[in-house]
Every structure is written in structure tokens, then in C-alpha cells.
Amino acid sequence: MSQQTVSPQTILMQASSNGKGTTGTIGQPITYEKIPTQIFADSKEASYAVAKEIADLIRQKQKEGKPCVLGLATGSSPKTVYAILVRMHREEGLSFKNVISFNLDEYYQMEPDSIYSYHRFMKEQLFDHVDIPKENYFLPDGTVPAALLRDYCTSYENKINAVGGLDFQLLGIGGNGHIGFNEPGSLINSHTRLITLDHSTRAAASMEFGGLHNVPRKAITLGVAPILNARRVVLLAWGERKASVIKNAVEGPVTELNPASYLQAHADVTFVVDESAASELTRIKTPWAVDSVIWDNKMIKKAVTHLSQTLKKPILKLIDKDYNDNGMSDLLAQYGACYEININVFNQLQHTITGWPGGKPNADDTHRPERAQPAKKRVLIFSPHPDDDIISMGGTFQRLVDQGHEVHVAYQTSGNIAVADDEALRFIDFVVDFNNGFDIDSPDANKLFLDAKEFLRHTKNSEIDSPEVRKVKGLIRRGEAKATCRFVGIPTSQAHFLDMPFYETGTVQKKPIGEEDIKIIENLIEEIKPHQIYAAGDFADPHGTHKVCWDAIEAALQRSKHKNFMKDCWVWLYRGAWAEWDIYEIEMAVPMSPDQVLKKRQGIFKHQSQKDGVVFQGEDSREFWQRAEERNAGTAQLYDSLGLAEYEAMEAFVRWKF
């Protein structure tokens, strides 16, 4: 499809009347944003602001004796908003009796009681916990016969119009810019209809469905036109994976290739995002191009590395003209000639590189990222899933072991939902055959495995795995993790399987972390008394396992920070196979040789259940080892392009401070 920019006079006039132009007046900062965008420190703070706005609207309508008509969204983004509304209902007396709600979409064909249905999602997240009358909430019916769909979609939209239209529409945004399920190519005047889902949308949902092959190909969605007809629209976006599409929707042209850009035409719309989702906006990525900035060390490092990358010039080759031509003349005015700035940033980057992630014994550590003492450290690596340790920091893991540190790995969850059914069946068959082959009489074990086998043979895609099946799948992941530890060179007694309770639901939807989860982490830290802790720091999804696992670690660290041994403990954050820290954020970069890269790959291969058709592949078709290698190589190439030493690959870390 060739790109067609939609720019009717109404959109241009609306953008002008909203004060959304891209140039500022004299003395005012330039703005590139055509949609009002509020940036919050994190998704919790943002969700509270949105929930409060919805609650205030409900109460105002109650005072006026009117219904409050809400358009609601599903997916990960609004979960915390709904949780806060539920709390307001329980603790603050917020009533939903005057609320009428209409959901944006539903998969087709989809039974309402399926664990994948949006009917079930909304009941579990909101409706079952508040006093909204059952007859007051509406969701598209994913079971309507195909012959009746057109009339059904028209009637669904007519119901909205019959109650006076939507007072408030809550939206998320897809990685391709879809709102509702209005995929790229949807027109601005589109109405409620059946739509074929884009491959990227289905791939992004594959985690929830246990694999791409289970994700429906079609869905019913409210159209763009009725969304734009809502009197108020708020769009939510969390995490760096949404950063690019947010920038394009907010700063780019109105185009059907990014349906969220149509919201530039709305008279009362706000994008509510966290700092990660805002990271590509001009005022965040290059704030010096928008307004005057405080040139502290972090800002200087960010600006100089960005300039070097943009111009494709090593840092030490940047000249005054490069600064002046790219909005950084005030930096020169403040600090003088660019040479001093260049060398300062270059040295800072050079000092992040170390082949001694545990510290180099008997060395001057003034400019090293880690302390020299103690020479032999106790190290605790937290791995949210049973393979995150080797995928995300396998080279560093190996270095720490080879350099004589006492390394422990804490596998926070069982990872059982990421094991395919056929892999579990293969394992079950082996155990039964093993017992029979060696004349081992274990009727209880045989019954357990046979029951699990029978369940898997007859299970439906919409069913949750039985406890026996989850146990089998967890044992598979545990065995693979032990194999990796042996391969790297630590005894399995230093592999700690925490099986945190929040994870053990049998579905992608997890429970919130509780006291038991935090206590498990706290007790392990107390037991090991580490000098170093490594933890996953990729928080793209606030409800994802990595973020929840970090929340438990952070809570445990806050409880333990007053203890004497914690004064000697440094915490390093790594990221997964999908993204890396920005270059100006990196505080430790551990280089790898070609042989070390190959050894890391072999360690990842120990996780056989996650290879060749992993359940949660997502929209990235590469296997985990490929993602990790390309990411590590990319980090090394970035250091090289900035003028530093050239390595085969690098793993990067940021220090988290209490």
C-alpha cells in the first residue's frame, strides 16, 4: 500500500484551533507535538491520574442525574487504571450504578467465557468488582454468525448513539499504531466492523494465546469515526516498545498507516505516557532542539553521543560547527571549545568498559565501574525466567565464574507457561518409559504423569493447564536451567528456584506480588549476603513478569538496605534480548570475544524447550540466541562508531542505587 497522507481542512483547522502548531513564538519553546501529551514518571502514577479523571466524571454525572457513558479498552495498558477504580469503589464509595460502558473490540470467533476473551478480561479486571448493573455494560459479541455481522455492528454503534454518545473513550495503542483494532489502512470515516488483524498485532498477542497459531485472525472493532465522536479521549502507552509509534502519532503526519494519528483531529484528546514511551519525542530525545536545557553531565553525555551517532562521526572528530549546526551552541558558549567536551565524554564512555565485571583485584579502581575489593565477591543473579540469565548476561555470568567469584543464580519463576504441550508430552513419555525400562515400581508417579498426559491429549486452547501439567512444564525448565549452570561452571547447589507464587496461575495473567513473594527474595538476599546483585531492568510492560519480578526485588532491597552487609552491595541492571540501554545510560560494558559469544550461544541452547518454535515468539521471528547476539554485537558496534575500541560483542549494565 502506498502511503496516503490524510489532511482534510477540518483536521488542519482543528489542529490550529487547539494550538498544536509546530513552531513557537519569540521567547517560547518550539513544539513538535500535535497532540497534547502528558508524561509521567511511571505507569502507576499515570494510571492514577487517568483513574481519577474517570472517577471525577462519574461523580459529576451523578450530581447532574445523568448516565456516564464510557468507552473502555482492554490489553495490558489499562489494567492499573481498572485496579485503581476498583479500589476507589471499595474504599472511597465510588459507585458505578450510573455508568454505561461500551468496549472497543473483541476477537472473532471468540466465546465470551474463553480465557482469551475480552468479555472475561473486563469481568475479571473491573465489572465483577464494582456495582455496575449487568445490563449497563456492552462488549462486541464474538459469536455472531457471519451473515448477521453487518447488522450487528450497526446496532452496536446505534446503542452508543441512543444513550447520547461516549463521554469518555479510553484507548491503548498497538505497536503499528492501531486504536481499537483499527489496523493500518483503516479510514478516518470507518465504522464498527469485522476486520482482519495485522500480522504484527497477532504476533504481539501470541504470548496471551500460547503461540501465534492460536491467535484469531479477525476481530470486531469500533471504527475510527465513533472513537473520534467521543467527547473526551485519553490514550495510554507504557514502555520503550511504544516510543516510536507514539512519536509518529504525536509529531508525524495524519496518515492511515498510523491510525492513532487521526486523533490529531480531536478537540479534547490527551496522550498519557510514561517516560519510556515518551523517549522518542523530540522534547525528550533532543530537548536542546526544543528549549534551553540545563547542561549537567547526563545531558551533555546524551547530547554528544546523539550528535556523534547522527553525524556518523567519532566523538573526538566532532567540531564546533557540528555543535552550532545542531542546536548545541549554548553548550559551547557555556563550556568553551568542543575539544574539552569531546574528550570528557569520550573518557567517560571508555571508563565503562571492563573485562572484570566483579572488579579487578589489586588494581586502581578510580575509573573502573566496579570496586577492586573484595577481590572475590559473592554474586547473586536474579533471572525472572529460567533462561534470562544466560540470554541477557551470559558472557558476564561466565566471566564472573571464571574470575573466581561465588556466583548464585535465583530463578524467580518456573517459566512453565512458556513450554509447549508437545514438549511436555515428550517429557512425560520419557519418564514413564524410564520407569518401565528399569523396572521402577512407582505407581503414584506413573499415575501423576499419565493424568497429565491424558489432560494434554484432550485439552482445549481455552483451558488452563492442570496443576500436574504445570508441574511437568516447570520441571522441564528447571532441568534446563541446571544444565546451563553446569555448563557455565557453578554447582547446582548455587541455583535457587524460587517459584514465586504470583506467577503460578497457569495463564499469562498473573497475580499482583504479595508479601510471600517479597519475603522469598528478602530471605535469599539475607542468606547469601551478596556484594553484587544483577537483576532484569527491562520494564516495557508494567504488568510483565520482568517488571513484577523487579518490583519484588526492589521491595526486598528497601527492607534490607539498613543491614550492615548491604552497605557493600551494588545492584546492576541488565536488559533482555529485545532492547538495550541507551549509550549515555550505560555504566558498565563487558566485552566478549568471538569465542565467548559462541560459548554464550551454547549456553542458551541448553534451554531446548525455548528453541525452534518457542511459545512466546512475539512479532520478532528470531530465536533468543539470535536476538541476544545481534543486540550484543550492536552495542559493540555503537562503541566502535563513537571512536572507542572495537569488540565482537558487549553486554551492558546500569547501576541501581538505593
Are 395 and 590 in contact, with CB atoms under 8 Å apart? yes
Tell me the three cell numbers of residue 189. 470515516
Distances (CA, A) of 36 to 13, 23, 46, 177: 16, 15, 15, 17
Of 381, 379, 355, 385, residue with least CA distance to 368:
355
591: DSSP letter:
E
d(C-alpha 91, C-alpha 23), whole Å = 46
Of all helices (H) and strands (E), which one includes residue 133? Answer: none
Helix/strand/coil (H, E, C) string of 204-225? HCHHHHCCHHHCCCEEEECCHH
Answer positive or negative: Cα dihedral of 190, 281, 43, 18. Answer: negative
Are 97 and 127 in contact, with CB atoms under 8 Å apart? no
Detail the DSSP E strand segments found in 386-544.
406-411, 495-497, 532-536
Q: Is 395 helix (H, G, I), strand (E, B) or coil?
A: helix
Contacts of 548 by beta carbon, 8 Å cutoff, 6+ apart: 502, 510, 512, 513
Q: Which residues pair with 385 in a beta bridge?
A: none
Of 216, 221, 154, residue with least CA distance to 181:
221
321: DSSP letter:
H
Of all helices (H) and strands (E), which one includes residue 385? Answer: none
Are 100 and 68 in contact, with CB atoms under 8 Å apart? yes
Q: Which residues pair with 571 in a beta bridge?
A: 533, 656
Indicate the burial class of 134 (C-beta count within 10 angstroms; 0-12, 13-18, 19 or more): exposed
d(C-alpha 264, C-alpha 261), whole Å = 6
d(C-alpha 271, C-alpha 254), whole Å = 16
183 catalytically annotated: yes
d(C-alpha 381, C-alpha 573), whole Å = 10
State the residue for C-alpha cell 473526551.
Answer: 232
Q: Which of 33, 157, 183, 651 is catalytic?
A: 183
Tell me the three cell numbers of residue 615. 511459545
d(C-alpha 374, C-alpha 378), whole Å = 9
Positions marked catalytic: 183
